[in-house]
Chain A
Amino acid sequence: MTPLTYVRAAGRADALARVESGARFLGGGTNLVDLLRQNVEQASDLVDVSLLEGIIRETDGGGLLIDASVRNAAVAAHPLVRRRYPVLARALLAGASAQIRNMATVGGNILQRTRCMYFYDVEGARCNKRQPGTGCDALDGFNRYHAILGASDQCVATHPSDMCVALAMLDAVIHLSGPEGERSVPLTNFHVLPDAAPHVETVLKSGELIAAVELPPPSGAVTNAEYRKVRDRSSYAFALISVAGGLALADGRVTQARIALGGVAAKPWRATRAEAALVGVAPTPEAFLAAIRKELVGARPLSGNDFKISLVERTVVAVLTALSGAHA
């Protein structure tokens, strides 16, 4: 770790001012501190934004606004989240460990970085994300955890968050504060695919801070939803793949389907093609399979992760089948 200074932000304006003069934002530190300690990232000054006021409140439109500094554990335990957006609570609880969830903030969770082992091996591995232009050791190396969708020949890393998969499925909007004012970005547009510049992971501009996450008012497909995470051990492991699925039905037909996938791409993957294919059809396992296959047409498995395609298919079908049964 490079020697650094640490201050707690007095308020959002203070935080923004400090970042303008070169500091890095620090949330719960459950990822960034590891990255600094392992010299994957360097910082000379940290400004801690995890102690800024953080609350969860209803919006005028019937949605929910979650401040970025709210801890993951607090979001998962919040009565309104549990009642109206249970898929978010389930996704959060599927992630990390209780201790990490107690520390990690919503903003930090969104900005956490890939768990690709080559990304973390500063001395011994090549990584375009860590050091642009050096190459990618995962392409022909250990890539069991890596992307099958949206990857490039520069990077095949995945985004590790569970929470973000649920947020993508919920049409969450990210509110940003920065030197040029405030703006909002849909979560599904917040993370970007690697293409030729895998070190660029989000649309966040220099000096901008995630202020809050807004959830639109729940619809039928939001309340009838499930998060299923598939991993190598039953807890404290990143997703091989995960599925946030929601289904609204009327008269034996799908009126709305929501599907987001985790562990398959550099961003939480909203399966819009599959969703579109399901509207108006009868909710059968065959229909679910046909729909997700439409989404996976562009999937490009690597040497070590071709199992992910059938795993996504089977898990999506199982999740949606269970959800259709809940309304039957």
Chain B
Amino acid sequence: MKWSEVVGLVTRHRFLFAIGGVVGIAIIMTAVSLSLYVTSGTSRLDLSRPGYESVRKDVQDRPEETFNSDGPINKAALDEFDRLLQKRRANLNGLGDFEDTSLDDASLRLTP
């Protein structure tokens, strides 16, 4: 098939080729997005996945007080900083630390 014939074919079926091209581009973009979603590790943190409905409510999503990066360094400023840091550390202490026995043989009932 000559180049002029290819051009003629495309020109005759412009609409069909346009739809095919759009679908092809959409498939490529989706494949790239999905591969980025998986390789970047976002998929592991995505709690909107099926099966995670019951735990979604446990995600902490409240606005927190911030510390101004501009201003003097004095007792009041350091007290304010300490207060904010202590609050965040107290929150951290309440979170799981991957040290419990959930994966032990006894917990999984794999002990003879």
Q: Do A and B actually bind? A: no
Q: Which residues of B come within 8 Å of A, CB atoms?
A: none
